[in-house]
Amino acid sequence: MAQGTGQQHPLSIYFWIWGLLFVFSAGSYATDFLGDGYFRWALILLFMFLKAGFIVAIFMHMKWERLALIYAILGPPVVLLVLVGLMAIEGDYTELTRLDFFSEPIAPVGHEAEAAH
């Protein structure tokens, strides 16, 4: 079997990352007390990517794997950005059509107003 290929690292690195993840989580929780806005959203994304990055790189040992494995695993999810982009456009479009066709008219207009009399 593949002895000696196991991931063996000093425990201290795990404690460091553990502590960092606590700090980042506290940070992202703290953003809840900020008002909505681009600054808050940027902070949420920043803490999210920092946490995700450290979990994958250190806890899941991706940092020490060979590039063939790293790219095979981390490459494919990048195409999901295309899906996210398309669905964002589609979502906005659906909202506009709903506002157009399903919202209550503010007041009867045209011949509908005349028919009501």
Partner 1 sequence: MAQDGLTTTAESPNAAGWETIVTDWSADKQTFRVPWGKAMMWIFLLSDTFIFSCFLTSYMNVRLSTPVPWPDASTVFSLTIFGIDMPLILIAIMTFVLITSSGTMAMAVNYGYRGDRGRAAALMLMTGGFGAIFVGMQAFEWTKLILEEGIRPWGNPMGAEQFGATFFMITGFHGLHVSAGVIYLTIVALKVLRGDYERGGGNYEIVEIVGLYWHFVDLVWVFIFAFFYLW
Q: Give the residue among 28, 58, 26, 54 at the shortest CA–CA distance from 43.
A: 28
Site for partner 1 in 23-62 (CB under 8 A): 25, 28-29, 31-33, 41, 44-45, 47-48, 51-52, 55-56, 58-61
Q: Give the residue among 80, 55, 45, 48 at the shortest CA–CA distance from 63.
A: 55
Residue 67 beta carbon to partner 1: minimum distance, rounded to whole angstroms:
5
User: How far lies 90's CA from each of 38, 94, 103, in Å?
Assistant: 22, 6, 19
Interface pick for partner 1 out of 1, 107, 109, 115 (rule CB under 8 A): 1
Interface pick for partner 1 out of 63, 73, 106, 110 (rule CB under 8 A): 73
Q: How many helices (H) and strands (E) does the chain have?
A: 5, 0
Binding mask 79-108 for partner 1 (x = CB under 8 A): -x--xx--xx-xxx-xx--xx--xx-----
